[in-house]
Structure 1
């Protein structure tokens, strides 16, 4: 009796744990798109029996990050024992569910084996022909004792070569037919797969247990790679008396292996090739040292340059717009797109227009003659934080002409945001050295150099312009090196940074000249490498 009871429970256990897997297809409902990845939010409905079951969730991206899988359900009677991603799922149950697919797969295997065998036979014949041709050449060049023997060998060569060549034609025909059949079978398999509306062979296998049978809805979320998005602006201006027309777009592309159809998108946190950025200046420190010392590059300058570059690439603030719901937490800010979108898995850019706004701006011109003979048209936007802008590339179009590309960077501490609208060729600028005002004096213990130059700006436009002109004089961290500003024509002088700034109004066809003169005094045994 006890033995019979043991076999009963053993049979029950085997039956209980070998139930047919439950296959369900995941549907992507929403996608949280990060800059280089995305969280795919799926849902499935499962009918499950009492006891332990294996649930196979299909339509899972091959780009999944395994550790990110999250399964959620409100059914308290169902416990999830494990969740594991597999790039494919092979099972007798699966093949029984689609016998036609199994037959096609078996035929593909047979066709591949046949092609391999034909390939071997064709290669063997090719080697035989090579050997025959090689021996024939040896026979022709050898001293054969008998003409009859030579004729016999020649006839054999002709007969055998003709036989193998004809066989090769037949083999090649069979090979091409087999290749064509294999391609047809693969196309049939693809059609069969598409008819089942499966887009990926990846699956998530769940082991679950429940005290009662029932139906449950599960949320299946995971992170997938090979997804990218970046902000993109189009800035249009017509006249200096009109506001800027700024269109904000998102450029999204993905190659997860799954097409996103009618999904709710949330763009989260997240990053030009003509360079149209107006130059920025850094303080200019002299490299001074005694003449017997070896010049050393200024660490301070290098460090400042590095900091400046690092600051330029910081892009960490997200935005929200009208037509989008803004969500903010301690880590990031996101905005949710109201309209469902289709984003195909083709690694091509998909543009989503998010917002178009008119922004009042103060227009002015800006030039740094030391860094080039360019005059840039700038648009200054006050209270820019209320427009929820984030760093991104921008195409500039002014007076219906494409100017180039610049960057919008609102991550700054200034009270206004400046956007470079382009280089205006109708305003000319140059720096002219005044040699007769330059001097170099040598005293008993020190030497003194004086530098004088003019900044010349001409307005060739038909209207008066307002322009900011920026220049600089050197600084020194060595107390024995003294710099004195002699003339600056009423510049706004930042002594700490050495910057000189002029704000001028220049009438049409007017030329404005600004003179700058400074003196550098340093010990006689010093040499300065970057003074110019």
Structure 2
């Protein structure tokens, strides 16, 4: 006959969280369960697990003189009180207390109101009994009656006033108490709506067997959905040094229907949502397309630059120096960065409490200080303005993941931006806004059409574009990079020749990490997108007319169209 197991029922939310590892689309929670096991078979029942538990994700590890046999997770019926989170339980208890106080105030008000009503009835009855209609010319009132009546009036006036004053005080107290009750009811309704209360909960049954009584520790590990983290950055550029400080944040969202109280956090770049299975490759067959089947149209996207607000002076002014600043507060950073084979983990220094319903809990991952090169860039065909850009190489060991960034120039907010993936040792740039001291004018293009050829007639379209640039700053020269389209031929019958300026062609074979990370220098070159990048040095209070000229040759009977592809 099988022995009856010893049951140990525990609330899962009461078990200490030893670690929460947050991925981009979920989280792994590790709870420490301490239990006193009896001799024989024991069943540890963890009640009220979150309903966002990922199926099949729970595993149990343990320490102690026992053997783990199996772990079963199942749904069980539950009442509202059983599925309450600690926060909801506290609010519900406070609500019951406040409702009890409100009821006591109602009872006091009822007693005082009845006292006032009864006093008014007695006053009417006594007055009617003392004052009688005169008979045979006699008056029923005598000196004794008048004295009694006066005493009664004094009694009525004093007590009636006192009772009504108490009633007004109780009514005011009732209004205040009712507002407290309504506030708690609203708070409870909001939290319950976030938790999406269900009539069932999940519990885990862990079966263990031990030969003698012992104390055991179980690490219960499970994954939950509706949680994740994303990177964000504060980029602060100081033009006087120059320097670039990048504060790397992790923004955590938590909608798991459980609270993480005092949880040590680890942010992981692993992507368990992608799985570990290599995708299979089918057979690609080439067949003729039916002539009646219309070819799918290719989507074209045009980029339109959004004019940005002009910033204040980018390099400060000659005004009197400000008073010495107070020492800056230090920012807590990640205590440990672990590089794994397929991911990076950031262990956060301090424990955090993140309740359900949190959308933006920000923790600091690290702070990186770089030495940027300040250059100016302009794309005059899109926006005739010069943008100050900080170009720097990521010399840290941290890989910057794609995320939103807030850019500050000389402690002044410039704009919201987006930082792309940047690996250690890779160069990246950050726009700091429009520099109004650099003037850019995109003049109308001059276009010519020529025809030639003795045997094979061909047409030549000549485009000459002038870009006027001026440095109105009087104290220092600037490097300005002009980015402009030069058509790329997709057919051997179309030939494109750049006449001016003389540019270095892009060579993918010779392109190395060193050349890609090189600082901008004077000269013209083609980038990997076949766009012209022309960098010129503008001396203070000088201007130039920059002429970009190219020729497109093609057969006479053909028409060339231009499409911007990304």
Corresponding residue for residue 221 of structure 2: 221
Aligned partners of 2:367 and 2:500: how far apart in 1?
Answer: 48
Corresponding residue for residue 52 of structure 1: 41
Moved more, 503-512 or 519-528: 503-512
Residue pair 1:439, 1:451 contacting (<8 A) in 2 also: no
Give the alignment's TM-score, normalised by structure 1. Answer: 0.63
2:341 pairs with 330, 333, 353, which one? 330
Residue pair 1:384, 1:417 contacting (<8 A) in 2 also: no
Q: Gaps (5+ residues) in structure 1?
A: 1-8, 95-100, 105-179, 191-198, 272-294, 306-320
Count of matched residue positions in the alignment of Structure 1 and Structure 2: 381
Deviation at 1:297, TM superposition (A): 9.4
The answer to whether the aligner puts 1:392 opposite 2:399 as a matched pair is no
Deviation at 1:419, TM superposition (A): 1.8
Corresponding residue for residue 486 of structure 1: 499
After superposition, residues 389-428 of structure 1 pair within 5 angstroms as 389-411=400-422, 415-428=426-439
Give the alignment's TM-score, normalised by structure 2. Answer: 0.59
1:23 pairs with 1, 4, 10, which one? 10
Aligned partners of 2:225 and 2:463: how far apart in 1?
Answer: 58
Change (3 A) 1:400 1:297: farther
Aligned partners of 2:250 and 2:388: how far apart in 1?
Answer: 26
Residue pair 1:58, 1:204 contacting (<8 A) in 2 also: yes
Moved more, 364-373 or 484-493: 484-493
What SS class does the counterpart of residue 493 from structure 2 fall into?
A: coil
Q: CA RMSD of the aligned region, Å?
A: 3.8
Change (3 A) 1:456 1:489: farther
Q: Deviations over 1:6-62 (max 9, x none)?
A: xxx5xxx4xx33755533542212100111211001011112223333321135322
Q: Gaps (5+ residues) in structure 2?
A: 83-88, 93-177, 189-196, 272-293, 304-331, 504-522
Deviation at 1:337, TM superposition (A): 1.2
Residue pair 1:52, 1:208 contacting (<8 A) in 2 also: yes
Corresponding residue for residue 122 of structure 1: none
Deviation at 1:221, TM superposition (A): 0.4
The answer to whether the aligner puts 1:438 opposite 2:415 as a matched pair is no
Residue pair 1:62, 1:87 contacting (<8 A) in 2 also: no
Corresponding residue for residue 84 of structure 1: 73
Deviation at 1:252, TM superposition (A): 1.3
After superposition, residues 363-378 of structure 1 pair within 5 angstroms as 363-378=374-389
Change (3 A) 1:344 1:397: same
Aligned partners of 1:434 and 1:265: how far apart in 2?
Answer: 58
Corresponding residue for residue 500 of structure 1: 532
What SS class does the counterpart of residue 73 from structure 1 fall into?
A: strand
Aligned partners of 1:412 and 1:352: how far apart in 2?
Answer: 21
Aligned partners of 1:257 and 1:498: how far apart in 2?
Answer: 52
What SS class does the counterpart of residue 374 from structure 2 fall into?
A: strand
Aligned partners of 1:218 and 1:387: how far apart in 2?
Answer: 35
Higher helix residue share: 1
Deviation at 1:363, TM superposition (A): 0.7
After superposition, residues 110-125 of structure 1 pair within 5 angstroms as none
Deviation at 1:472, TM superposition (A): 3.1
Deviation at 1:394, TM superposition (A): 0.9
Corresponding residue for residue 252 of structure 1: 252
What SS class does the counterpart of residue 501 from structure 1 fall into?
A: strand
After superposition, residues 1-20 of structure 1 pair within 5 angstroms as 13=2, 16-17=3-4, 20=7
1:66 pairs with 55, 68, 80, which one? 55
Change (3 A) 1:412 1:525: farther
Aligned partners of 2:488 and 2:442: how far apart in 1?
Answer: 20
The answer to whether the aligner puts 1:455 opposite 2:442 as a matched pair is no
What SS class does the counterpart of residue 527 from structure 1 fall into?
A: coil
Residue pair 1:88, 1:203 contacting (<8 A) in 2 also: no
Change (3 A) 1:372 1:270: farther
After superposition, residues 163-242 of structure 1 pair within 5 angstroms as 202-242=202-242
Change (3 A) 1:87 1:528: farther
Aligned partners of 1:270 and 1:406: how far apart in 2?
Answer: 25
Residue pair 1:72, 1:218 contacting (<8 A) in 2 also: yes
Aligned partners of 2:543 and 2:536: how far apart in 1?
Answer: 11
After superposition, residues 314-329 of structure 1 pair within 5 angstroms as 323-329=334-340
Corresponding residue for residue 515 of structure 1: 547
Corresponding residue for residue 266 of structure 1: 266
Change (3 A) 1:496 1:231: closer
